[in-house]
A and B are shown apart, each in its own frame.
Chain A
Amino acid sequence: MMTRILATQIAFNWRRNLSAISGTVILLACLFMVAVGPSLVAQNPYDVMQLNLLDSYLPPVWLEGGNPNYLLGTDGQGRDVLAAVIYGTRISALIGLSATLLSCVIGTFLGLMAGYFGGWIDALIMRVADIQLSFPSMLIALFLMSAFGTGIDKILISLTAVGWVVYARTVRGSTLGERQREYVQAARVAGLRDAAIIWRHILPNVMTPLIVVATVQVGTFILIEASLSFLGVGVPVTQPSLGLLIKNGFDVLFSGLWWTSLFPGLMIMAMVFGINLLGDFLRDELNPRLK
């Protein structure tokens, strides 16, 4: 009931909020690109057979020497930049979303444990969280990746390792509050098992603040992943995300071949900007105190 009212309210305010609308539009455009983009471009940039070395380093189509087959130009292997960006966006978005989901699930679980059971579980989880929070996420992820080596699975592990903390802390706080409520006390007296109480009574009540955290985190993760891949410790070269595309473009930037790095960067910016616009709006809606 409350959720329905809240949802209606948000939908109503959404329509009057320019940045919320622009954020949504940008994200829908990205989604469209990721979903149907690959079928719109002629080339699969990772099929070596489809690449033509003679077409390497072509500028975007509106510049002299541009080729209409490659709207945004090509890179050193004759790879269509537009196609590479579309495929790269897929990888970047996939990593950002999956890592956020993993962090959210693990962090929420640990936060529930810490808040509901307290004691040494709480102390342990929160100590680790405290120590971790005094170090920048980027540095921890960089360190983990340097130990693990490249790979999408390893990025997911690293990002989750830095991402769970914020959920754990938020959930722990709200769990502590919920645990004191009469209905939880009543359920305990009635002999309901802890797992059932947590799942049915506490979890639904601590989820709302996580929406904002999760939204913004997708953006943060996309940026961190891009940075790691740029440094060469992120995705493997066979699965280039936007960050790796920029890195490849960096090597030729000094020869004035800017298009191989400009467009992937713009894509990251658009995606993260869209996410942040929406995140800002949700923060205002779900946290009226800050209005």
Chain B
Amino acid sequence: MFAFTIRRLIQMVVVLWAVSVIVFLMMTFTGDPVFMVVPIDATQGEIDQARRILGLDRPMIVQYGIFLSGLLQGDFGLSYVFRQPAFDLILERLPATMEMVVVAMVIATVLAIPLGVYAGANPGKPLSRLIMSGSLLGVSLPGFWVGMMLIWVLAVEFRIFPSSGRGDIGTVLGVETSLATASGWHHIILPAFTLSVGTLAILLRMTRAGMMEVTRQDYMKFARAKGVSRRGVLYGHGLRNALIPVVTIFGLQLGDLIAFATITETIFAWPGMGKLLIDSIYRADRPVIVVYLMLVALIFVVINFMIDVLYTFIDPRITVK
């Protein structure tokens, strides 16, 4: 376990380093950031001076060195727009995004697993067919459009839910979150549900496929021969085996949720880091984009690591080496 952790840590560092190189190259070769800081009517002299101040006149490798050492110290520079440390800007908005992602993941999981188990254990039944068609529709829907239609019906026409923004913030166990207040929940339901649709459909389909595979196994019949109830066989013996393939994509889905949160946040004017990213892309606010990418990359490698560990708990046949 110790050796495994060390090896994975090294892997994670390598991946993050590779991401830093790619991000740096993309940023360097696409457009000249100097024009983001100088006034439109700047003279050539002013531009050259800005270039020097930003270190853009140095060799590439030196620029990358400066970039990397900045990253390592958590210094990503000032946002061109807000004139504040870009890192702080993103960090401020991280809780709002995570809140929505977590709620979306919970909605998706809580709905997907029972529905998937049912459809997998009762193939051919009308309800199973309905569930499967629904899930196929779920993966075919543009998520942002679902969100808009929900806004139109539930916020504009019927005014049941607010169409935008995050609710009041409360404190639970020392964490500031809108999930601590009723208004927070009122605000989060629509965006979180919108975000969850695709993941819900995919998890459902994976659970169902896993369940179908599992119901054929002898140990299911052996469990029934022991006198276990049908329900007990499905959930007690089948589900955990069926979930093994689901866990694999769970991490990737969590990543997808973070990625698609950018759109959901834009639609629902949710003050998270996804919306900040999109705004920063419009304004070519590079430091913020860089922080976002590096932070998200870090989150992903951590999630992947956790999934690998989780794997060993759910499937005893897999041992970490």
Contacts and interface: CB of A to CB of B under 8 A. Distances in A.
Q: Do chains A and B touch in the complex (CB under 8 A)?
A: yes
Interface of A: 19, 131, 134-136, 138-139, 142-144, 146-149, 219, 223, 226-227, 230-233, 243, 246, 249-250, 253-254, 256, 258, 261-262, 265, 268-269, 272-273, 275-277, 280, 290
Contacts of B263: 227, 230-231
A277 to B, nearest CB: 7
Main secondary structure of the interface of B (DSSP, over half): helix
Interface string B296-307: 110011001000
Contacts of B144: 226-227, 230, 246
Contacts of A226: 142, 144-145
B151 A253 contact: yes
B256 interface: yes
A223 B142 contact: yes
Given A232-B282, A256-B156, A290-B209, A142 B145 contact: no
Contacts of A258: 152
Main secondary structure of the interface of A (DSSP, over half): helix
B306 to A, nearest CB: 13
B260 interface: yes
B156 A254 contact: yes
A269 B282 contact: no
B279 to A, nearest CB: 11
B300 A135 contact: yes
A258 B26 CA distance: 38
Given A136-B255, A142-B259, A250 B148 contact: yes
Interface stretch (B52-60, B133-141, B223-231): B133-141
Contacts of B31: 147
Given A131-B18, A231-B262, A276 B145 contact: no
- In the complex, which range does the number of interface residues on chain B fall in? 35 or more
Given A147-B26, A227-B143, A261 B136 contact: no
A135 B252 CA distance: 7
Contact of B145 (A147, A231, A254, A265): A265
B145 A246 contact: yes
B136 A277 contact: yes
Nearest to B136: A276
Given A232-B282, A269-B142, A134 B15 contact: yes
B136 A139 contact: no
Given A142-B259, A231-B262, 13 more contacts: A131-B15, A136-B255, A136-B258, A136-B260, A138-B256, A144-B26, A146-B281, A227-B143, A246-B145, A253-B148, A253-B156, A272-B140, A273-B137
A148 B30 contact: yes
Interface in B272-303: 278, 281-282, 289, 293, 296-297, 300-301
A226 B208 CA distance: 29
19 contacts: A131-B18, A131-B19, A134-B252, A134-B255, A136-B259, A139-B258, A142-B259, A147-B27, A148-B30, A226-B144, A227-B143, A232-B278, A256-B156, A256-B157, A265-B145, A269-B141, A273-B136, A280-B136, A290-B209
